[in-house]
A and B are shown apart, each in its own frame.
Chain A
Amino acid sequence: MANLAVEINNLAFSYTENTGVHFAGLNLQVPKGERFGLFGPNGAGKTTLMSLMTGLISAQSGSIKLLGQPIGIKKDKEVNKLFGFVPQDFSFYQELSPAENLEFFGAWAGLSKKQTNQRTTELLEVLGLQDVRNQPVEKFSGGMKRRVNLAIGVIHNPAILILDEPTVGVDVQTRHAIIDYLRKINNAGTTLVYTSHQLGEAEDLCNEVALIDDGQIIAQGQLESLMEKYGQPTLEGLFLNLTGKQYRD
């Protein structure tokens, strides 16, 4: 239990409109320090599961714990300090500069002014945004915006980083920079929970994966063991083998 970063037990959830994905008795465990990948076709439930993990939506029953602390209890937002979230959409203020965004989100993440300033300098340097730190983000390229999006998610040095397609729409250089950075913070102890449709990139990054389809975990384990078990040389092969080739949207 103490070694689990994410622990989902018997989770039940469905949208009130009764449309889209629904979970019934879903269980998932992500050990601490892993680079965990969650994969599945469109509409499988990846984003819904991430929204439940981050407390954006609440489950009808069951529990989700991050480092042993339950999430989704509205009044108690202390657990939110444990994780960082990098949504698929650009989740910041485009009118502001990277430094101004980090200053604001740092305060909201619970950092002091001094800590925020220190982290801002570090992150802008590491992610190659130092030269444009005071320019409005709305003028940035897609790749630069992705890096700003990531910087905000890790401003408070979270123990768990939840990433929803963090490299979508970026060039090879930016993808490498982001993946390298994720590997670096994982080496420093941050657990990564990651989802992407870039399976080549995911294969390179993740050591543990889960495949989700129609609201159910259909396979989970060490990536190499799963590929061996299903006789697939790549993650993409494993994915197609387990989820089929038909369109999902």
Chain B
Amino acid sequence: MNSYLLWIPLLPLLGFLLNGLGRNHLSKNATATIGAGMVFLSFVLSGFAFGQMLALSHADPGANHTQVFYPFDLLRIPAFTIPFALRVDHLTVLFLLIITGIGFLIHLYSAAYMKEETPPHFARFFAYLNLFVFSMLVLVMGDNFVIMFFGWEGVGLCSYLLIGFWFKNTAYNAAAKKAFVMNRIGDLGFLLAIFWLLMKLGSVNYGDVFGQLGTQLTPTDITAVTLLLFVGAMGKSAQIPLYTWLPDAMAGPTPVSALIHAATMVTAGIYMIARSNVLYSLAPLTQTIVAITGLATALFAATIALRQNDIKKVLAYSTVSQLGYMFLGLGVGAYTGAVFHVMTHAFFKALLFLGAGSVIHAMHHEQDILKMGNLRKYMPITHITFLLACLAIAGIPPFSGFFSKDEILVAAYLANPLYYYLGVAGALMTAFYMFRLYSLTFRGDFRGTKEQAHHLHESPVPMTIPLVVLAILSVVGGFIGIPAVFAADAHWLEHFLAPVFRRGAAHVSEGAHHLSHSQELIMMGVVTLLILLVIVFSVRKYSTYTAGEENPSGLARVLYNKWYVDELYQSLFVQPLHQLGGFFKNFTEPKIIDGAVNGIGKLVSYGSRQIRLVQSGQVGSYLLIMILAIVVFFLVWFNDLHLQRFFQKYF
């Protein structure tokens, strides 16, 4: 591995150390320069790596160009060795580009967005962001599951720190804790999967695990390992039933939501499953579970998003929903499609969040879309970019979301037509709630206070540059994966990722029938038409919205309250745990633990008080004890054989 690749994760780490240690001394400008600059350098290096990989792929298409950097062993015991090894291959390099690229844009954006913070907190924010980028890079660059787990935990930690960034607000802290605990539940599954692999194979290196499938892992092992890994992915990527932390995670600053809770961290689960595609392809049961979970999450979150009024909450549920699509893709074996959707989703969802951040910035931290409206007049750049992102996520050709979502849906149709129809229903809901959001925010009349209206303004340039760049990417990003319908052999991404997914895909394509081009075109046309209809309906309905019109009842009320899932979890898990904790606190701790400890103390002091009576100062009693001791001594001394036999018999 070329040594410059090592600097890709090290530079953000350096930025973290500089900003973190120097937070009381650096000015805001210096902090922002260090924070964003390190990620930018990292991005440049990633670009180099990508170019190199591209050149290699051109020279020798389809071959595996993995580079591994293996400086030392993390753990070496007789049973197994865990190396500290980083790898760069086709999949990694793609993620490197997404992470560092979007990461840089968001760092740039944050420099303006977080301007109101005092310098130490400003530096703390950038230090956390850099640490996050570092952890995420370690996650995707690890050459075995343990290194991946390090990154996994690192991003979890940064997520926690950044959600609770404004730690003076108790609700935000609670949201951070919720995210952390939910992720721990998933991490347990991941850890168990690692242990299982270590037990069965004695190694967690990707090469060893994916290379020894037929020989050492039974189908049961593979199913169990993949299921456990999927539990980890559920926690990190916010799938049913562990998704509730992600909407609450919106308590963090908006750039954090864009970077961590939309573009990168939550896709770690997708990355993990895509990385383990060989395993998943051998476990049909797990694949079905993944697909169903993904589809259920996609639909469920979409229904909730229909009735949310917080601009970030809508986007959060939208993220959960889109993640569900990615898992659907993984479940039906469309690994390339899932990764493709990760990429396009990273573009447009980051754009949506940044746009939302821009709106929130302009509205002075007002997040209720019912109190917005007609912002297109005041914020043209934000408006245009937001509209483009909405079109992209809704899946209108030729925006990027269309290509990636279409790829997943086609694969789902091949696996089971029911998946396809439900997926399309979810896509229609996506279009509906996105344009509801768009219309309420940017169209109609302004419904906020006079003072807010007076202060409305377009965001500063550092905030609009990322919006524009991401908007361009959202529009054109889909062209790296043009389906075969439009141009034969034009799916560049599939060719690029072929070395990684070849073995996994080989299992899927066996026996799979392909759709004819005409059938596929008809499906695309119908879906696009439906989506356009929904958009028109949504825009017409909500552009004329006036305050106080909505009074949710019936199903709408249930949706508004997010299906009462939080309340369900509260009564199902949190309350019993609280009661158990109370039992331990009120009974076990004082009675049993303290009782034991204090009891020993009391016993000793009681015993010593009793034994002290022997020390009476009475010569007679001393003598008595002496004589008795002599008697006992003689008895023991001259009957040692009998005693020995006695003790051997009974003990």
Indicate, yes or no, whether A interacts with B: no
